[in-house]
Structure 1
Amino acid sequence: MSEYQYYEFVAVDRPLTSVQQRELRALSTRARITSSSFVNDYQWGDLKGDPREWMQRYFDAFLYLANWGTHRVALRLPVGVLDPATAAEYCVGESACSWATRTHVILDLQSEDEDGDEEYEGGGHLAAILPARAELAVGDRRLLYLAWLLCVQNRELADGEPEPPVPPGLGELSGPQHALVDFLRLDPELLTVAAETSTPLKETVPSTAALSRWVKALPEPEKNEVVVRLMRGDDAHLRSELLARFRCAAPDERAGAGRTAGELLARAGERWSRRQQLARQREAAERERQERAVAAAREQRLNALAGRQEQEWQRIAAMVETKRPKEYDAAVVLLSDLKALADRDGDSEAFRQRMRQLRERHARKPSLLDRLDRAGLGALGVS
C-alpha cells in the first residue's frame, strides 16, 4: 500500500499576511498557499512543521488524514466565544483534547482505524466540517459533546466517568456536525443512545424582546466596550461572543442524567446486538423466500417438461454433438431438470440408463464429462 497524507489548514477570522505566507512557503515549495489556506499532500516525506504550532500562530481550522487510518481535525476559537474550562470539560482524552493560548482555545480531535484507507482523497472534508465551528462559536455545544463521545467510544474514560451536560439537538445534528461524525467515525449506535436524553433543538435566533432585556441589563461600561469594538471592525467574533454570553445566561442544556461512560457503551452494545439479530432474521426470511421462489419455478419447469422427455433427450443429443461450450452448459441444465423430474416421478432407473449411454457415447469429450461431474451427474454412469 503506497503512502498518502493530506494536510489542509484554513484561516477564517483573519487572512494570512504576506509575511506569514512567506514563512509558510519557506517550509514547503509544493503546497498551495493563499491568504486563507495551506493545502498539501504527500506520497513520500512529511510536513516540515508542527500542526499544533501552526494552529496557534496562523490558522483557525486544520484537517489531516493518512491512508493508514488516521483522521484528525482541529478548530481554533477566541477565548471570548469559547471558555477554555468548558472545552476542557468535554475534551478529556487522547482522541479529543483542548488547550488554550492567551487569545484562543484549540480543540484537537482524532480518530484511528487500524484497517486504514487504501485509497483516499482529502479534499472537501474540511469545507463540509468547518461551519460547525461557527455553530460552536454562538453557543451550540453539540460539537463539544461529540468530542467527549469520541473519547467514550475509544475507551479512554473509566466506566464510572459521569456524562457532562447534554446539549439539545443531539438527535437532529446539523449537516456540518454530521460531516464531523462521519469523518471521526463515531459509532451511530452510541450517538443514538447519547441523544435519548437530549431535548429538542429550540429556535436558534433569540427574539428581539429577549435580546432587549438582556442588553438593558448589561453594565454601561460593557455596552461602551461593545460599541467601540464594533466601530473598530476588527473583531470577527463580536456577534458570536455576545450570542454565546446571552445563551449562557439562560442555558438550555441538561445535566448528564446521571449516566456514565460505561452505561452509554453498554447500551450502544445492546442496540448493536439487537440490530444484528434483526438483520440476521431478515436475511434468513429473505433466503427462505428466495428458496421457495426457486423451488416453485423449478416445479413449474418440471411440470412443463413432463411428457416431453423423449424430445428433450433428442435436443440434448443435438446440443452435445455441436461440441460448443455454451451448448454443453445448456445440455447440463436440461439434464439436471430431467433427473429431478425422474426422481420426483419414480423413474430414476430409466434416467440412469439413458445417462450411462450418453456418457459412454461421448467418453472422448472431457469438457462435457467435467461439466456433468460438476453438476452431480457424474456418478450416474458408474453403476
Structure 2
Amino acid sequence: MSEYQYYEFVALDRPLDDRQQAEVRELSTRATVTPTSFINEYHWGNFRGDPDQMMEHYYDAHLYLANWGTRRIMFRLPCELLDLDTAGDYCVGDQSQAWTNGDHLVLDLTSEDESGEGEFDAKWALSAVIGVRAELALGDLRPLYLAWLAGYGSWERDEDAFHRDADHELEPPVPAGLDTLSAAQRALADFLRLDAALLRVAAQASPPLNTVAHDPAQLAAWVADLSDTDKDRWLLRVIDDHAAPVRMEMLRRLSDENITTAAAPPRRTVGDLLDGAARLRT
C-alpha cells in the first residue's frame, strides 16, 4: 500500500504578506501557496515543516490526514476569545491539547485508528469543519466537548488508550445544544470518529440551546451604548487590518451580554458515559 499524507492550512484573520509566503514556500517547493492557504500532498517522504510552528506564526486553521489512520485538526484563536483554562478543561491526553503562543491559543485535536489504515475520504476538507472556529470564538463550547468525548470514545477502539482509573474521571461542563449540532460540529464529530451512541448519551444532560436573534435596531442601540474607548480601540484595529478578529470580539461581547446561563447538570463519569453508550447499542 502506498503512503498518503494531506496538509492544508488556512489564514482567516489576516492574509500572509510576501515575506511570510516566501518563508512557508521554503518548507515545500511543491505546495500550493496563496496569501490565505497552504496545501500539499505526499505520496512518499514527509513534510519538512512543523505544523505547530506554522499555526503559531502564520495560520488560523489546519487539517491533516494520513492513510494509516491519523486525522488532525487545529485552530488558532485570540486568547481574549478562548482562554487556556477553559480549553484545558476539555483536554484529553494526546487526543486534544491546547497551548498559548503570545496573544493566541492553539487547539490541537487528533484521532487515531489503526483499523482505518488505508482509508481516505475526499469529503474531508477543512472547509467542512472551519465553521467550528467562529463558533468557539462566540463562546460555543460544544466543539470542545465533542473533542473530549471523542478522546475518551477512542477507549472503545483501543483498550490500552487509558488507564483503568480514567473510568472515574468526571466530564467537563456540558454545553447546551448537544442534540442540535451545527453542520460544522457534525463534521467535526465525524472527523474525530465520535460514536453516535456515545454522543446521544452525552446529549441527554445537555440543556436546549438558547439562541438570541438581533434585529438591526437592537444592534444599532448596542453599538451606540459602547464606550468611546472601546469604539476607538476596535476602529484602530480595523484600520490596522485586523477587521476579522475585531468582528469576532464584538459578536462575542454581544453574545455574552444576551445569553442566560442554564443551571449546570450533574457531572457524569467517563465510565457512566461509555456504559450508557454500550447499553444504547444493545
Distance 1:254 1:114, change over 3 A: farther
Partner of residue 159, structure 2: none
Residue 263 of structure 1, aligned match among 248, 266, 272: 272
Query: Where do 1:229-378 residues align within 5 Å?
Result: 229-230=237-238, 232-249=240-257, 250-273=259-282
Structure 2 letter corresponding to 1:45? G
Secondary structure at 1:90 match in 2: coil
Greater percentage in strand: 2
CA contact (8 A) 1:99 1:105 kept: yes
Partner of residue 89, structure 2: 89
- Over the aligned positions, Cα root-mean-square deviation in angstroms equals 2.4
Distance 1:220 1:122, change over 3 A: same
CA positional deviation for 1:124? 4.8
Structure 1 letter corresponding to 2:264? A
Tell me the TM-score normalised to structure 2 length.
Answer: 0.87
CA contact (8 A) 1:163 1:256 kept: no
Distance 1:37 1:267, change over 3 A: same
Residue 190 of structure 1, aligned match among 179, 190, 198: 198
Distance 1:252 1:4, change over 3 A: same
CA positional deviation for 1:26? 1.5
Q: Residue by residue, what CA displacement relative to the aligned partner does 1:116-157 show, whole Å, maximum 9, x if unpaired?
A: 242525575211011111121112111111121122213448
CA positional deviation for 1:242? 2.6
CA contact (8 A) 1:159 1:261 kept: yes
Partner of residue 17, structure 1: 17
Tell me the TM-score normalised to structure 1 length.
Answer: 0.65
CA contact (8 A) 1:13 1:236 kept: yes
Residue 169 of structure 2, aligned match among 139, 150, 161: 161
2-side partners of 1:253 and 1:167: how far apart? Answer: 9
2-side partners of 1:211 and 1:96: how far apart? Answer: 39
Secondary structure at 2:189 match in 1: helix
CA contact (8 A) 1:137 1:244 kept: yes
Structure 1 letter corresponding to 2:137? A
4+ long deviations beyond 6 Å: none
Q: Residue by residue, what CA displacement relative to the aligned partner does 1:213-254 show, whole Å, maximum 9, x if unpaired?
A: 7974x6664454334434555241222213323444545354
Secondary structure at 2:109 match in 1: strand
CA contact (8 A) 1:7 1:63 kept: yes
CA positional deviation for 1:104? 0.7
CA contact (8 A) 1:142 1:170 kept: yes
Secondary structure at 2:114 match in 1: coil
CA positional deviation for 1:201? 2.0
CA positional deviation for 1:77? 0.8
1-side partners of 2:223 and 2:90: how far apart? Answer: 28
Structure 1 letter corresponding to 2:41? D
2-side partners of 1:104 and 1:119: how far apart? Answer: 33
Structure 1 letter corresponding to 2:209? L
2-side partners of 1:38 and 1:137: how far apart? Answer: 23
Q: Structure 2 unaligned segments of length 5 or more: list them.
A: 156-161
Distance 1:210 1:12, change over 3 A: closer
Distance 1:260 1:253, change over 3 A: farther
2-side partners of 1:30 and 1:124: how far apart? Answer: 21
Residues 63-72 or 200-209, more deviating? 200-209
Distance 1:141 1:206, change over 3 A: farther
Higher RCO (CA-CA < 8 Å; seq separation 6+): 2
CA positional deviation for 1:115? 1.2
Partner of residue 179, structure 2: 171
Secondary structure at 2:140 match in 1: coil
Q: Structure 1 unaligned segments of length 5 or more: list them.
A: 274-383
2-side partners of 1:147 and 1:181: how far apart? Answer: 7
Alignment: residue pair count: 272
Structure 2 letter corresponding to 1:176? A
2-side partners of 1:28 and 1:63: how far apart? Answer: 17
Distance 1:240 1:251, change over 3 A: farther
1-side partners of 2:166 and 2:135: how far apart? Answer: 30
CA contact (8 A) 2:206 2:265 kept: no
Q: Residue by residue, what CA displacement relative to the aligned partner does 1:24-67 show, whole Å, maximum 9, x if unpaired?
A: 22121111111111111111100001111111011111111111
2-side partners of 1:35 and 1:43: how far apart? Answer: 25
Partner of residue 48, structure 1: 48
